[in-house]
Amino acid sequence: MRYKGKIATWKDDQGFGFVTSCDGGEKAFVHIKSFLKRSRRPAEGDLITYELTMDDKNRSRANNVMFSNERATATSTSRKISTGTVFAALFCCFLMTATFMGRLPLAVLGVYLAASVIAYFAYAIDKDSAENNRWRTQESTLHLFGLIGGWPGALLAQKMLRHKSKKEEFQTVFWATVVLNCGALGWLFTKGGSDFLRSVVGS
């Protein structure tokens, strides 16, 4: 039998919380691993459906959990991320074209590639830590990887791993780092930026 309830408390850094049934029953423990589809991170106030079981200490536990609006949420997320993915793909094409045309040194493309790989694995490690109650990577660190040029890899991680893609505050700062990074890249095409690059790479 499936029940409908609301997440009353949620500790995102530890990946668990408690759900109260809409029928007024007692609170049940719920863990992030109990969600069938992890399209986004749970939050307090989310409506969910679940199966009620008892653990070995006779305590109520929610299993096979799904968000009540799972389909609508997944569709909305997919569209939003797809737009970002197209932007990242166009940016990478522009970056490679500028490099091959000699407008940017190969080192710049290398920095973006290396930072993107590091950012992707940082997101993967953070998600694994969240699901297994281990020490989390600070959000400021994730944003720093994006700021120095790893945002295409970070965006890919958000899409592929479904991590940090629904947290509005995080997304606001993330896209701010994207704008700052693109602005810095644009400056490299100016005379001052070109002179700076020549002094750094020695060409």
Binned at pLDDT 50, 70 and 90, residue 14 comes out as confident
CB 155 within 8 A of CB 88: yes
Whether 110 has a pLDDT exceeding 70, the answer reads yes
Q: Mean pLDDT throughout 42-58?
A: 87
Average pLDDT over residues 77-100: 80
Confidence of residue 76 (pLDDT cuts 50, 70, 90): very low
Confidence of residue 203 (pLDDT cuts 50, 70, 90): low
**Bridge partner residues of 92 (DSSP):** none
- Confidence bin at 75 (pLDDT 50/70/90): very low
Single out the residue of 64, 78, 45 nearest to residue 1, CA to CA: 64
Structural domains of the chain, with CATH: 2-68 (2.40.50.140), 74-201 (no CATH)
Longest CA–CA separation in the chain, Å: 72
Burial 143-180 (b: 16+ CB within 10 A, else e): bebbbbbbbbbbbbbbbebbbbbbbeebeebbeebbee
**Residue 87 burial class via C-beta count within 10 angstroms: exposed 0-12, middle 13-18, buried 19 and up:** middle
Q: Per-residue confidence at 82, pLDDT binned at 50, 70, 90?
A: low
pLDDT band at 81 (very low <50, low <70, confident <90, very high): very low
Q: Give the predicted TM-score (pTM) of the model.
A: 0.60
Residue predicted with more confidence, 39 or 152: 152
Predicted local confidence at residue 78, as pLDDT: 46
- The token pair at 138 is 């600070």
The pLDDT of residue 77: 45
